[in-house]
Amino acid sequence: DQQVKQNSPSLSVQEGRISILNCDYTNSMFDYFLWYKKYPAEGPTFLISISSIKDKNEDGRFTVFLNKSAKHLSLHIVPSQPGDSAVYFCAASEDTGRRALTFGSGTRLQVQP
């Protein structure tokens, strides 16, 4: 039972354009969401997070949007750069401080120069 789903295994965009990575979840108890980036042969790196009390969080070129009613979040990267090419994982947690992170299966982003 996949509680966090990233339905697009891969995405290709042109440098300078917007990249939009999507994530859906089924557990309505999730209240904290994170995005991680992973390069080959490295561990995941935290990118940005959002609490369920917000619907948007921005950090430089990265913005995460949360739509609680649709149980959907998205990561926008503007403008996309070739160095953004990596696998992006979304993750969710339902009880901060005690429970585990549940990860999506990841989306491979390729930014074409």
Partner 1 sequence: DSGVTQTPKHLITATGQRVTLRCSPRSGDLSVYWYQQSLDQGLQFLIQYYNGEERAKGNILERFSAQQFPDLHSELNLSSLELGDSALYFCASSVEGFFPLETQYFGPGTRLLVL
Residues that bind partner 1 (CB under 8 A): 32, 34, 41-46, 49, 89, 91, 93, 96-106
Task: Rank residues 60 and 98 by Cβ distance to partner 1 and give the closer one.
Answer: 98
Task: Rank residues 42 and 69 by Cβ distance to partner 1 and give the closer one.
Answer: 42
Task: Rank residues 13 and 34 by Cβ distance to partner 1 and give the closer one.
Answer: 34
Q: Could you give the residue ranges of the DSSP H alpha helices within the chain? A: none
User: Going by C-beta distance under 8 Å and a sequence separation of 6 or more, which residues neighbour residue 108?
Assistant: 9, 10, 11, 86, 87, 88
Least separation in angstroms between CB 24 and partner 1: 15
CA quadruple 50, 53, 55, 60: dihedral sign = negative
Structure-token pair, residue 78: 């503007």
Least separation in angstroms between CB 5 and partner 1: 10
Least separation in angstroms between CB 97 and partner 1: 6
What is the signed CA dihedral for 30, 46, 16, 11, rounded to 10 degrees? -60
Least separation in angstroms between CB 40 and partner 1: 11
